[in-house]
Structure 1
Amino acid sequence: MRPKRNFTGVVLVLFLLAVTLGGCGKNTAGQVETPRVPVEVAPVKRGNIAQLARVTGIVQAGATVQVMAASAGKIKSVLVDVGDKVSRGQVIAELENSDLEARLQQAKANLEQARLGLDQADARVKQAEVKAELDETNLKRTQALFEQGAASQQQLDAARTAAAVSQEDLAVARAALAAAQAQVAAAEAAVRQAEVALENTYIKAPVSGEVAARLLEPGALAQGAVVTLVTSGERQVEIGVTEQDVNYLQPGREVTVEVPAAAESLKGRVASVSPAADELSRLFKVEVSLVNAKPAVRPGMAATVIYTTRQVKNALLVPKNAVIKRGAQDVVYTVVEGKAAGRVVTTGIADDKNVEIVKGLTDQDSIIVKGQDFVSEGQPVEVVNGGAGA
């Protein structure tokens, strides 16, 4: 920031000096010479740019997780008690599932039967192929003998009939093979469905933590949470994001978290995203786990979660401060024949330093990057950094 203040001071001094000297003399035409404003120019560059979003939340210690069954059913057993430590993926309860186990065994038996049928159909196809090949060879041999007068018409007709029948039998065998393959595929799908249904009867801990409450007992219907888990000591930040940003925050994505009170900037990872927005705020709740948070990061501290939203590669980029607001328009200044020339531009996304130019400039242009606040259209300027105007 110090170089920018020095440049601004230089601009003011040179501008006032130019005005003073200009007022003391006239040019040969008898007119007061317009002072030149010193400026610096730089070429428009191409590069990648990413727009950052910043959302403030509060640091929390751990998280409360309501563990629910993935399917409806009656609870067979609850395998944990209040105070127990559990690991992610550990089975903590089980639903009645004897009927599903039987269904899985039946599905596996059907699959074995289907595979046996497939093997038989494949064998029949191979036999039919051999028979068809032999009958075709016999037909060709009989045809040759008939042409030599060594075989009768009746023998030729019989060979032709046998070859035709063999081809029909082969077609039937191949159709049966295709049907058997379809049966195997359907049986495999049935097994997978039965396995998933059975797997859903085992209620597993989605995170590691401690059992804070045991809410349902054996014999009850699995409606609502079965147990409540509290994660142990992991720092998290809860934020609310808009519908425009929620899809940029998928679980597992890494973000940056700044905690000013602790003078910490650390990594975070999206732990969970609510499936629906809050009815009042219209914001989506997002839980961000802090990675390797130091003891100085305490619950209750304000934290800012920073994440990338839109990204553009090979964009036209200019410094943010080079773009000047002129009414409702965004303008940058170039230098044409020693004078400032405004160019109306359309901007895109921006980061901390640069802004994307969507329309109004090319990568062959150079623009004023210092002194632009002191010029107007047609203002004589002097390039003081060795750059050349357009």
Structure 2
Amino acid sequence: MSILSKPKFRRGPVIAVILLLVVAAAAFFLRPPAKDPVAGAPASAMTVELVAPDRRDWSQTLQGSGPVTAWQELIVSPETGGLRVAELLVDVGDVVRRGQVLARLADDSLKVDLRKQEAVVAQSRSSLEQANAYVRRANAVGATGSLSDQQIEEYRISEATARATLQSSQADLDSVKLKLVQTRVLAPDDGVVSSKSGIAGNVVSAGTELFRLVRRGRLEWRPEFDARELASVKTGQKAELTLPNGERVNGTVRIPAPTLSTSTGRATVYVSLTGDSTARAGMFASGLIRLDTTPAITLPQTAIVMRDGRAYVYLVDAHNKVSAQTVTTGRRQDDRVELLSTLASDARVVASGGAFLSEGVLVTVKQAETKR
């Protein structure tokens, strides 16, 4: 081989390698982009808890309103008159007991009358003793014939007159003593002083009002109902009213009125209230009376969404999408509300937060915690 000859170059393998590289590059750059699973899926609006309609036995209720009044009001006044009010011993709001002295009248003049009448009684008693002595002597002498029957009869009449005079004066003495006792004005029963109209120093007559008492501190709520509503009210039913300050007070129906008003066609129901409340006579309150028990399909109040004057619930389907459904509500007790509309017993209802949802959005269902 000549020194000047060139080596042979094999082009086939080189071309094959280049073609492979071109194909690989084309496959890499021309492949479709990978799909982003997060960007492609619809986003969840919020995480919600689900509840199902619950059947409960609830009492029917009757709504009403009326004043709060005293069960019975007692007027305290003196039984004797013409005397000055010496002292008023209680004030409005005081709790008093039966027989407690509430006021005292001046008794100076009656004490003078008492001494005077005691003297009259003593004089009458002496007159009767003297008449008795005359009768005894007349009877003794009359047996001898010294006194006529007419004289003896006169002595007996004088004795009867003296006895009657003593009884009359004794009755007058008892009357003065009674007036002295009546100068102490007593509470006729346990109660709370609701008003005081007596004024110390005034001369009062018998029957002049000094105080008013709420007897035994008992109050009543007196709502009014028409004839149809009254037919379902019975003695012993439970009631609940709301005071102006928002406090709820329990009570029991004492008695429905036996007659209806001829002018309004309504009747009063007398509801006795518990004594441990801030209720006061003169308040006006609204409330309800619980009637017979009936079944109710209920949901938590938080599941009800109010929009445009209508009530809605949000239902979640098998794909966790929500849909709004109009419902009609009824009675309410505690934190639950009655559904008058029909819902499936296995309906999946959003328990709370429905106001933030819209039709067809996707939600994440919070799994119920399992009890250990």
TM-score (norm 1): 0.41
Structure ranking higher in helix proportion: 1
> Could you state the TM-score of these two structures normalised by the residue count of structure 2?
0.42
